[in-house]
Chain A
Amino acid sequence: MQTPTTLDQLSLKQSAEVVAIDWAAISDNEGRRLRALGIDKGVSVEKLYRGMFGMNDPIALKVGRMMIAVRKSHAKAISVCPVAVTTPA
Chain B
Amino acid sequence: MSELAPLIVLAGNPNSGKSALFNALTGARQKIANYPGVTVERKSGHFSFADGRPAELVDLPGSYSLDPTSPDEEVTRSVVMGLQKGERRPDVIILVLDAANLDNHLRFALEVIALGQPVVVALNMMDLAERDGLTLDPAKLEQALGVPVIPTVAVRRRGLEDLSAAVENRLLHKPENIEPVVAKDRDRGLSKQAKRIANLAVVSETAGRRWSERADRLFLHPFAGPIILFAVLFVMFQAVFAWSEAPIGLIESASEWVAAGVEANLPPGFLRDFIIEGAIGGVGSVVVFLPQILILFLFILLLEASGYMTRAAFIMDRMMASVGLSGRSFIPLLSSFACAIPGIMATRSISDPKDRLTTILVAPLMTCSARLPVYAIIIGAFIPPTQVGPGIGLQGLVLFGLYVFGIVGAMIVALVLRSTVTKGPNSGFLMEMPKYQLPLMKDILIGLWQRAWIFLRRAGTIIFGATVVLWLLLTFPKVPEDSAMSQVDYSVAGRIANVIAPVVEPIGFNRDIALALIPAMAAREVAVAALATTYAIDAPDEEAEAKSLTERLQSRWSLPTALAFLAWFVFAPQCISTIAVTRRETNGWRWPAFMVAYLFTLAYVAAGITYWSAVALGL
Residues of A in contact with B (beta carbons under 8 Å apart):
26-27, 29-30, 32-38, 40-43, 48-55, 57-58, 60, 63-71, 73-74
Residues in chain A near residue B107, CB distance under 8 A: 36, 38
Residues in chain A near residue B310, CB distance under 8 A: 69
The reply to whether B69 and A33 contact each other, CB–CB distance below 8 Å, is: yes
The reply to whether B103 and A64 contact each other, CB–CB distance below 8 Å, is: yes
Residues in chain A near residue B327, CB distance under 8 A: 58, 69
The reply to whether A66 and B187 contact each other, CB–CB distance below 8 Å, is: no
**Alpha-carbon separation in the docked complex, A29 to B222 (Å):** 30
Instruction: Encode contact with A along B413-456: 1 for CB under 8 Å, 0 otherwise.
Output: 00000000000011011111110000000000000000000000
Instruction: Encode contact with A along B333-371: 1 for CB under 8 Å, 0 otherwise.
Output: 000000000000000000110000000000000000000
The reply to whether B315 and A52 contact each other, CB–CB distance below 8 Å, is: yes
Closest 5 CB pairs of A and B: A36-B64, A36-B65, A49-B220, A54-B222, A67-B433
Nearest-neighbour CB distance to chain B for A83, whole angstroms, equals: 16
User: Do A71 and B222 contact each other (CB < 8 Å), given the known contacts A40-B187, A43-B191, A64-B103?
Assistant: no
User: Do A37 and B318 contact each other (CB < 8 Å), given the known contacts A27-B425, A52-B225?
Assistant: no
**Alpha-carbon separation in the docked complex, A8 to B321 (Å):** 17
Q: Which of B486-541 contact A (CB under 8 A)?
A: none
Which residue from chain A places its CB closest to the CB of B427 in the assembled complex?
A30
The reply to whether B425 and A36 contact each other, CB–CB distance below 8 Å, is: no
**Alpha-carbon separation in the docked complex, A60 to B67 (Å):** 24
**Alpha-carbon separation in the docked complex, A60 to B586 (Å):** 32
Which residue from chain A places its CB closest to the CB of B431 in the assembled complex?
A69
Which residue from chain B places its CB closest to the CB of A27 in the assembled complex?
B425
Find the residue from B64, B223, B428, B432 having the highest chain A CB count within 10 A.
B428
User: Do A30 and B428 contact each other (CB < 8 Å), given the known contacts A36-B64, A51-B318?
Assistant: yes
Residue B564, interface by CB 8 Å: no
**Alpha-carbon separation in the docked complex, A37 to B430 (Å):** 8
Residues in chain A near residue B188, CB distance under 8 A: 40-42
**Alpha-carbon separation in the docked complex, A23 to B566 (Å):** 50
* From A32, A55, A69, contact of B429 by CB (8 A): A69
The reply to whether B431 and A68 contact each other, CB–CB distance below 8 Å, is: yes
Residues in chain B near residue A40, CB distance under 8 A: 187-188, 191
The reply to whether B318 and A32 contact each other, CB–CB distance below 8 Å, is: no
Residue B101, interface by CB 8 Å: yes
The reply to whether A36 and B226 contact each other, CB–CB distance below 8 Å, is: no
**Alpha-carbon separation in the docked complex, A65 to B67 (Å):** 22
Nearest-neighbour CB distance to chain B for A59, whole angstroms, equals: 9
Residue B137, interface by CB 8 Å: no
* From A26, A35, A65, contact of B187 by CB (8 A): A35
User: Do A73 and B101 contact each other (CB < 8 Å), given the known contacts A29-B69, A58-B318?
Assistant: no
The reply to whether A71 and B317 contact each other, CB–CB distance below 8 Å, is: yes
User: Do A55 and B318 contact each other (CB < 8 Å), given the known contacts A67-B433, A74-B430?
Assistant: yes
* From B103, B104, B216, contact of A48 by CB (8 A): B216
Which residue from chain A places its CB closest to the CB of B67 in the assembled complex?
A32
Residues in chain A near residue B351, CB distance under 8 A: 29, 33
User: Do A30 and B430 contact each other (CB < 8 Å), given the known contacts A51-B314, A65-B103, A65-B104?
Assistant: yes
* From A50, A52, A65, contact of B100 by CB (8 A): A65
The reply to whether A67 and B64 contact each other, CB–CB distance below 8 Å, is: no
The reply to whether B104 and A66 contact each other, CB–CB distance below 8 Å, is: yes
Residues in chain B near residue A66, CB distance under 8 A: 101, 104, 432
The reply to whether B216 and A71 contact each other, CB–CB distance below 8 Å, is: no
The reply to whether B318 and A64 contact each other, CB–CB distance below 8 Å, is: no
* From B103, B216, B317, B352, contact of A38 by CB (8 A): B103
Q: Given A42-B188, A64-B101, A69-B431, list of 8 further CB < 8 A pairs? A: A27-B425, A29-B351, A40-B187, A52-B318, A53-B223, A67-B433, A69-B313, A71-B429
Nearest-neighbour CB distance to chain B for A48, whole angstroms, equals: 7
**Alpha-carbon separation in the docked complex, A58 to B434 (Å):** 16
User: Do A70 and B103 contact each other (CB < 8 Å), given the known contacts A33-B64, A36-B67, A41-B188?
Assistant: no
The reply to whether B430 and A34 contact each other, CB–CB distance below 8 Å, is: yes
Residue B376, interface by CB 8 Å: no
The reply to whether A53 and B226 contact each other, CB–CB distance below 8 Å, is: yes
The reply to whether A67 and B318 contact each other, CB–CB distance below 8 Å, is: no
**Alpha-carbon separation in the docked complex, A40 to B314 (Å):** 22
The reply to whether A51 and B216 contact each other, CB–CB distance below 8 Å, is: no
Which residue from chain B places its CB closest to the CB of A49 in the assembled complex?
B220
User: Do A32 and B428 contact each other (CB < 8 Å), given the known contacts A38-B107, A49-B216, A52-B318?
Assistant: no
User: Do A37 and B432 contact each other (CB < 8 Å), given the known contacts A43-B191, A48-B216, A58-B318?
Assistant: yes
The reply to whether B426 and A73 contact each other, CB–CB distance below 8 Å, is: yes
Nearest-neighbour CB distance to chain B for A35, whole angstroms, equals: 6
Residue B32, interface by CB 8 Å: no
User: Do A52 and B319 contact each other (CB < 8 Å), given the known contacts A64-B103, A67-B432, A69-B429?
Assistant: yes
The reply to whether B69 and A58 contact each other, CB–CB distance below 8 Å, is: no
* From A26, A50, A68, A74, contact of B433 by CB (8 A): A68
Q: Which of B213-230 contact A (CB under 8 A)?
A: 213, 216, 220, 222-223, 225-226
Nearest-neighbour CB distance to chain A for B80, whole angstroms, equals: 16
11 A-B contact pairs sorted by A residue (CB < 8 Å): A29-B351, A32-B69, A52-B226, A53-B226, A57-B321, A58-B317, A65-B100, A65-B101, A69-B314, A70-B430, A71-B430
* From B69, B108, B192, B314, contact of A60 by CB (8 A): B314
